[in-house]
Structure 1
Amino acid sequence: MSAKPRIGLVGSQGSYGRWLRRFFEQRMGLPVLGRDPCGEVALSERQLLETVDVLVFCAPIRQTPAVIRHYVEQATGIERGQLWLDITSIKAAPVAAMLHSQAEVVGLHPMSAAPKSATLRGRAMVVCEARLERWRPWLEAFLAASEADCVRADAEQHDRVMALVQGMVHATHMAQGAVLRELAPEVGDLDGIRPFSSVGYELDVAVTRRILAGNAAIYQDIQFENPYVAPMLERLTAHLDTLRDLVRRGDEAARDQLREQLLDQSREYVGQPSVAEGSYAFERLGYLLADLREPRFISVFLPLDQPGSLRSLLSVFEQRGINLDSIHSSRSAEGELLFRIGVSREGDAAALQDAISAIEAECIGRVVEAAGGVGLTR
């Protein structure tokens, strides 16, 4: 096993294929070769197999088992001594297909879309070890470099859990999107609803819009390719049917039954400490949304990732007597780490404009957005 194994990516032009290429090359310093019908076909399947040490399948979910079986047929034993991985949201079928090879086999599922950041820090990744011996030290080094929060499971357990974590969540929000499409026009469309928004509505709509913004094929495959999703949907629709029937009845007995079946029993199952923790987490998200709706703010990108950079930024406001209401870090759509600083509404606009100029003139950072009586002068 080479200290610098050559990585092969099957599906190298997809979002995770592109991210993995950057990760392996830039984060781990490893050579990467790829093959993808959408633009990277210089190497045949056989040539890729003959060249690499680690083969990663990052093809579309429903195609992955067939793609793997094709590579098994092409390999005819030359994969002996290799490590085969897959990056998909379903694990049982891809892992079973890889086990027909003579390679060592591990299924992986990063619990997010390909990130804008360099690593998977703050995100979970499910690791399904199926056949692993010589490659274990390298795999552990790879997982450590990814900075993901790794959870170990077998492939069947993974798929059962994903029916709830992904299948149920996606299903309910796809249904919510359809209901909004049908009923929102009667009350002023989405813009008409927005002034009435609660924290719960805002969070649900954010998830729905995230799904609508994503790759539709992924959400289709998560529903259709996981055998545990259909039984989950039966349970989900049964409870919704019960809720509908109880609301239609509308009597006191129906109200009591709703509370008992859909609230009290579930509260008892979850447990009071967990219920309290979740309620507090919801409140925190509410405060965050309130901060993000503040009309007077600036967003700043700090190019120097070093101790003292944030202090230098904050000192600009302190020197001008500007009171800050909030500060949050997040990433732009391009992946840049931004600090969003909410500014007191009573503050002097001229002082804030001067602060914006100073941030860039003193090379502290780049102001990318400003609102609420201030603007960018460039």
Structure 2
Amino acid sequence: MVSDTVQIDRPVIGIVGSQGAFGRWLQQFFSRRMGLQVIGRDPHGDTALSEEALVEAADVLIFSAPIRITPELIRHYVQVAAGAERGKLWMDLTSIKLAPVEALLESQAEVVGLHPMCAPPKISTLRGRPLVVCPARLDRWQGWLQAFLQASEAQCRTVEPGQHDRIMALVQGLSHASHMLQGAVLTQLAPELGGMAAISELGTIGHALDLTVTRRVLGGNPDIYTDIQFDNPHVLEVLKHLQRQLDGLAEAVGRGDDAARRQVRKHWLVDSARTFGREDLQEGSHAFERLGYLLEDLAEPRYLSVFLPEDRPGSLRALLSAFEDCGVNLDSIHSSRNPEGELHFRLGVSRDCEADRLHAVASAIEKAGIGRVVAGLVSDRTG
């Protein structure tokens, strides 16, 4: 039976790894979005609670720790709990699933493995992001779990842990490795050509998009990307496949004859295209074009970037009216959030727009209290 001290309707949430990026995001989500009490422990500055006190007080315990230590960390907490976890819910937030879920199952708690397919977002939910859910042992907590997943606004996908890890070897392992290798090649060859700036000046849209992902990988937490390569047991075989394909392509290009050209065309282009199918390829081409349009918009030099302090219906209309009143025609509108989660609009204007007129728009926006101009042509005047 579930202990009388376990609260399923309004549980106390415990986070192991509360000072990590996702640990901090989870604290905000559960306290603000779901109105729940959140406690935690982390060796990096959050040790007010002992491990024993955390296990005792938390009705839902979530492990949000580096991949390489998560399974053994869970097993350590199983020993600390010594049965006190019975009737509670334990979950993990890790990029691999089989090893952590197997460790969780050594406890007496109900068990769910989770993998958000994104970095901690700048907004308060996982809206639109895929979230892998591996319900390994679930009974009384089923209803609360569904309420939590609904509140997250994520696109939930229920997957068996082993299948998840095999797929992640391709989704993460292969993708990250490809960009790590590109980064290493660029490091070796770009300096003799004038550096990355000189290369980017001649880049295609495809190059720009590909380089965006490479920079994302290289600019992220190196420990995370290292752990994904080493701690998913299926990645090594994927890397061997990648190496064989790269060796084959290099050998064919090295031969350079007509037969080699036919081989490259058939094996690495025509045959691979069949894997995706005609409709999928067309959709990919269309998505590529859309991203290209976005890059073109963001490269336009005449724009204003405006922070709207009130994210409510009518805010955008008031902002657009400032451009209309000053007779400035818009070429593009894009919204995004900065690292602090503030909503920004980037409004590109016609190239024939005079600088003084754009300065007038910025002044009108700030004088009316519509928003704050944070970047663009007039950023030097608006502060």
CA contact (8 A) 1:353 1:375 kept: no
Once the two structures are superposed, what CA deviation does each residue of 1:164-188 show, in whole Å capped at 9, x if it has no partner?
A: 1100000000000000000001111
Name the CA distance, whole Å, in 2 between partners of 1:41 and 1:332.
Answer: 30
Name the CA distance, whole Å, in 2 between partners of 1:333 and 1:66.
Answer: 32
Q: Is 1:108 aligned to 2:123, yes or no?
A: no
Q: Is 1:44 aligned to 2:50, yes or no?
A: yes
TM-score scaled by length of structure 1: 0.98
Q: Is 1:312 aligned to 2:318, yes or no?
A: yes
Matching residue of 1:248: 254
Q: Which amino acid aligns with 2:382?
A: T
| Deviation of 1:375 (Å) | 4.1
Q: Is 1:94 aligned to 2:100, yes or no?
A: yes
Q: Is 1:296 aligned to 2:305, yes or no?
A: no
**SS of the counterpart of 1:334?**
coil
Q: Which amino acid aligns with 2:273?
A: R
Matching residue of 2:3: none
Once the two structures are superposed, what CA deviation does each residue of 1:184-220 show, in whole Å capped at 9, x if it has no partner?
A: 0111100111210111111111111111111111001
Name the CA distance, whole Å, in 2 between partners of 1:375 and 1:12.
Answer: 39
Q: Is 1:133 aligned to 2:139, yes or no?
A: yes
Q: Which amino acid aligns with 1:206?
A: T
Matching residue of 2:382: 377
Name the CA distance, whole Å, in 2 between partners of 1:305 and 1:336.
Answer: 9
CA contact (8 A) 2:56 2:84 kept: yes
| Deviation of 1:354 (Å) | 0.9
TM-score scaled by length of structure 2: 0.97
In structure 2, relative to structure 1, the CA distance for the partners of 1:244 and 1:73 (3 Å cut) is same
Matching residue of 1:263: 269
Q: Which amino acid aligns with 2:218?
A: L
Q: Is 1:8 aligned to 2:17, yes or no?
A: no
Name the CA distance, whole Å, in 2 between partners of 1:375 and 1:37.
Answer: 43
CA contact (8 A) 1:328 1:341 kept: yes
Q: Quick one: which of 327, 330, 349 aligns to 1:324?
A: 330
Matching residue of 1:31: 37
Give runs of aligned pairs for residues 176-187 of structure 1, distance below 5 A. 176-187=182-193
Higher mean alpha-carbon deviation, 325-334 vs 227-236, is at: 325-334
Once the two structures are superposed, what CA deviation does each residue of 1:305-362 show, in whole Å capped at 9, x if it has no partner?
A: 1111111111111111111111111112322111101111101222211110110111
CA contact (8 A) 1:91 1:156 kept: yes
Q: Is 1:157 aligned to 2:163, yes or no?
A: yes
Matching residue of 2:4: none
| Deviation of 1:232 (Å) | 0.6
Give runs of aligned pairs for residues 194-233 of structure 1, distance below 5 A. 194-233=200-239
**SS of the counterpart of 1:150?**
strand
Name the CA distance, whole Å, in 2 between partners of 1:377 and 1:88.
Answer: 44
Q: Which amino acid aligns with 2:365?
A: I
**SS of the counterpart of 1:369?**
strand
**SS of the counterpart of 2:215?**
helix
| Structure 2, gaps ≥5 residues long | 1-6
CA contact (8 A) 1:353 1:374 kept: no
Name the CA distance, whole Å, in 1 between partners of 2:243 and 2:135.
Answer: 34
Matching residue of 1:345: 351
Matching residue of 2:86: 80
Once the two structures are superposed, what CA deviation does each residue of 1:273-325 show, in whole Å capped at 9, x if it has no partner?
A: 10000001001100100000001111011111111111111111111111111
| Deviation of 1:2 (Å) | 3.4
Name the CA distance, whole Å, in 2 between partners of 1:374 and 1:55.
Answer: 46
Q: Which amino acid aligns with 1:72?
A: V
Q: Which amino acid aligns with 1:166?
A: Q
Q: Is 1:53 aligned to 2:54, yes or no?
A: no
Identity %: 60
| CA RMSD across the alignment | 1.0
CA contact (8 A) 1:324 1:343 kept: yes
Q: Which runs of 4+ in 1 moved over 6 A?
A: none
Q: Is 1:192 aligned to 2:198, yes or no?
A: yes
| Structure 1, gaps ≥5 residues long | none
